[in-house]
Amino acid sequence: MTVERVKDRLSAEIGELATISDADPPAVTRVVFTPTDLKARAWLRARCEQAGLAMRQDPIGNLFARWQGSDPDAPAIGTGSHIDAIPNAGKYDGVVGVLGGLEAIRTLQLRGFRPRHSIELLVFTSEEPTRFGVGCLGSRLLSGSLSADAARKLVDRDGNTVEQARRNAGLSGELENVKLPDDYYKAFVELHIEQGPLLEQHKVPVGIVTRIAAPASLRVFFEGAGGHAGAVLMADRKDALCAAAELILTIEDSARNSGAPDTVATVGMCDIFPGAVNSIPSRVQLSVDIRDTNLSRRDALLHALGNACDAIQAKRRVAIRQELLNADAPAECAPAIVEALSKACRKLRLPSLPMVSRAYHDSLFMSRIAHVAMLFIPCRNGYSHRPDEYASPEDIANGTLVLAETLAALSA
């Protein structure tokens, strides 16, 4: 019975992929171009080859597994997601879209379906910003949202450039050759866990994404004055960490009071120098993540952050410098692809809920060169980016079968 086979095979494969990790189970860590990431890519490539898919990898490491259609001139239908995982993550983020996409193809093959448009499963490089600070590195380059020169300038915390890291991972060719033409894909559909609580709360098995929020991220550098924790009196201090703390609370306050619940801001990283209990912090580096479904509200928060930096700098005599890493536009999903997903849900008698994606995804950038929509499945308590992230085999199978129906309809 199809659903049972899909449930069993996907549960086994998701479980197996989760063992290729740099964290103790149930956590998963798989950072781009590490030996673990390369091992996971090899594992996945083998499964795609077993399914008879033609493989290629581009110069940034995006992986393409192609089921050749009967019309070689017809633009392809793309699906896929990512398998890199932030530190101490779960095993479903991205993986459901990759293994679910592979299973959707295998399900159609078993049914004897023959696509007219080729169907291409994509595994994007570095969807997570963990190593190079900018998320969706592979889909940004593929869609032309990031230039090859700008990508080459990205450096990890150990000073390795993207160029060094990709070459060490065995990749060749020039980053200029990653960009695909605007008419390469007729459509791109990504299956992903919701990473939020709405589907579970509404007891709806499938979400159909109509809009993807606008993400921005930046680093903020604070340069104060160090000194002895005992000897320097409070009035004489230029404490970089206190300045950073004031900015963090100001960012939180601005997001909370933006006038809409869709504005979110997070300071997820804080480096303190010299990092000794009895030494006044002289330098601090923050990494800030700001998003909103509404572009002007998101930009207003970036502007408010700049003003706050000026005020804190003047008040505390701590030099503050911002480095904007990315400030991307939101994406509207294509009505025709949204309708194709809705139709597939109706055919499978699965209720669906139209929704916004507050997380960003490779689809955000694929929307720059193709008609895009996303398919969400529930995740328990909305948890994601944590080891107790969980999606049920039933929900994963439902999402996979909706994807299969949609790919069949789009590629006919």
Crossing angle of helices 35-50/95-110, nearest 10°? 10
Q: How far is the CB of 359 from ligand HGY (least distance, A)?
A: 3
Comparison of 180 and 213: residue with beta carbon closer to ligand HGY: 213
CB of 135 to ligand HGY, least distance (A): 5
- From the list ligand HGY, Mn ion, none, which binds 135 (C-beta under 5 to 8 Å, kind-based)? ligand HGY
Number of residues that bind ligand HGY (CB under 6 A): 5
The residues binding Mn ion (CB under 5 A) are: 93-94
Q: How far is the CB of 86 from ligand HGY (least distance, A)?
A: 7
Q: Is 153 exposed, middle or buried (0-12, 13-18, 19+ CB in 10 A)?
A: exposed
> Can residue 389 be called a binding residue for ligand HGY (CB under 6 A)?
no
Contact track, ligand HGY, 336-375, x by CB under 6 A: -----------------------xx---------------
Tell me the closest approach of the beta carbon of residue 80 to Mn ion, in angstroms.
11
Q: How far is the CB of 22 from ligand HGY (least distance, A)?
A: 18
CB 171 within 8 A of CB 61: yes
Nearer to ligand HGY by Cβ, of 128 and 328: the residue is 128
User: What DSSP assignment string belongs to 315-361?
Assistant: HHT-EEEEEEEEEPPPEEPPHHHHHHHHHHHHHTT--EEEEEESS--
Q: What is the DSSP string of 177-229?
A: G-PPPTTSEEEEEEEEE-SSSHHHHHT-SEEEEEEE-EEEEEEEEEE-B--BT
Q: How many CB atoms lie within 10 A of CB 50?
A: 10
Using CB distances below 5 to 8 A depending on partner kind, what does residue 59 bind out of Mn ion, ligand HGY, none? Answer: none
Whichever of 99 and 134 has its CB closer to ligand HGY, that residue is: 134
Residue nearest to ligand HGY (CB): 359
Closer residue to ligand HGY in complex, CB, 250/384: 384
CA 238 to chain centre: 37
* Nearer to ligand HGY (CB atom), residue 52 or residue 261: 261
Residue 372 site contact among Mn ion, ligand HGY, none (CB < 5 to 8 Å, cut-off depends on kind): none
Question: Reduced to 3 DSSP states, what percent helix, strand and coil does the chain have, rounded to the nearest 5?
Answer: 40, 25, 35
Q: How far is the CB of 28 from ligand HGY (least distance, A)?
A: 13
Identify the sign of the CA torsion 266, 268, 269, 272.
positive
From the list Mn ion, ligand HGY, none, partner contacted by residue 151 (C-beta under 5 to 8 A by kind):
none
Residue 385 CB, nearest distance to Mn ion (Å)?
6
The dihedral region occupied by 402, where left means phi > 0, alpha psi between -120 and 50, and beta the remainder, is: alpha
Which residue lies nearer to ligand HGY by CB, 13 or 93? 93
CB of 92 to ligand HGY, least distance (A): 11
Residue 270 pairs in a beta bridge with: 286
Alpha helices in 257-322 (DSSP H): 295-316
Token pair listed for 54: 């033609």
Residue 399's binding partner among ligand HGY, Mn ion, none (Cβ under 5 to 8 angstroms by kind) is: none
Q: Which residues contact 385 (CB under 8 A, 6 or more apart)?
A: 86, 89, 90, 93, 195
Q: Which does residue 97 bind out of Mn ion, ligand HGY, none, counting CB within 5 to 8 angstroms by kind?
A: none
103-142 footprint of ligand HGY as x/- string (CB under 6 A): ------------------------xx------x-------
Tokens linked to 325: 């890493």
Output 85 or 247, the one with its CB closest to ligand HGY.
85
The SS3 call for residue 168 is helix
Interface contacts to ligand HGY, rule CB under 6 A: 127-128, 135, 359-360
